[in-house]
Chain A
């Protein structure tokens, strides 16, 4: 468990940004992952007073605040109406309801966890993030950056009709994934995302008309070994899960 000397309820994003410039300070998301660290934090920065706990639907996109919990996106009717079971599938294996009532979308994205179900699925959709200083940028660009001192305010998910299917393999039901895959399609253009390689999720485009699409797609990703699985097994799983996801999307 970390220790913290001070606590500040930020009254604006700018104030949160200013506090977050000090390396000894940390933003408090849901606290689920932070509590596993032994960091000695000077000031905890809380974004709870900035109305970032809302899911708002607009004509062309959803805005999901950084403090929205994983359980909120799982059970939100508007997200379900636009993306079917996608958001539910994205989070339903993550520990349990109590954990998902704590963990936040902002915390999950800002940490850019290699094992992230959330990053893998969201990279299959067309998303942007909004940061206190850098402004809006595509999620794929943000995901590829090293964690920095900017403050993630919200996530935007485009309502452009892109359909996505999410697949994972886990050793036990609530563990982090051995491999996470998503396939999406918009106007006949396909995208494959692979996460928990065990490195962080990445997206590539593919053309299913090419008879070698699956081997070419899998070869576009690097895989590694860790305590959960070998590189070879992950590579094999990627073929299986991407094929399943592609077949599922074709059958929809």
Chain B
């Protein structure tokens, strides 16, 4: 079916198969940060923003994005770089495989929650799995990033 989807500000019109996951659609547009980590809707690596809300692009069909705005890490370069610096400083980025989905969800959280507690941060990010860090370094990076945003 023919769909019109805006990916990172660029409008595309394509004739797609109804079972095409949004993940494969955005990758076909060059957004290679979006990856499949688990195949079970669990790991969070494929996180993109659909009309501003974080969703699993492995589970959302591209037809569901018809007429809507999709944002990937490639479309949030400036914010991603700002948070990425905190992540690197805290040793929160090790193998880096989970980072694209993780950063997308951190940025969604920063937009959605005001001054979250550690528990709220942990809960918001529970759907992003990381095998390297044990999450402590990531939590420190998030706290410092949120503080720096607040202080402007």
Contact = CB atoms under 8 A, between A and B. Distances in A.
A90 interface: no
A35 B58 contact: yes
B128 A31 contact: no
B25 to A, nearest CB: 14
A101 interface: yes
Interface residues of B, number: 31
A97 B42 contact: no
B61 A96 contact: no
A98 B42 CA distance: 9
A97 B124 contact: yes
A99 B19 contact: no
A38 to B, nearest CB: 12
Nearest to A95: B127
A6 B56 contact: no
Interface stretch (B47-55, B77-85, B141-149): B47-55
A130 to B, nearest CB: 24
A221 interface: no
B132 to A, nearest CB: 17
Contact of A102 (B55, B63, B123): B55
Contacts of B100: none
A4 B17 CA distance: 8
A174 to B, nearest CB: 5
Interface residues of A, number: 29
Contacts of A35: 21, 41, 58-59
Given A7-B1, A98-B47, A98-B54, A32 B19 contact: no
Nearest to A6: B18
A205 to B, nearest CB: 34
Given A4-B19, A95-B41, A95-B42, A174 B55 contact: no
Contacts of B108: 97
A85 B58 CA distance: 30
Interface string A1-19: 1111111000000000000
Interface of A: 1-7, 28, 30-33, 35-36, 41, 44, 46, 48, 71, 92, 95-99, 101-102, 173-174
20 contacts: A4-B17, A5-B18, A30-B59, A31-B59, A31-B60, A32-B56, A33-B41, A41-B19, A44-B63, A46-B63, A46-B64, A48-B64, A92-B123, A95-B41, A95-B42, A97-B105, A97-B109, A97-B126, A98-B47, A98-B127
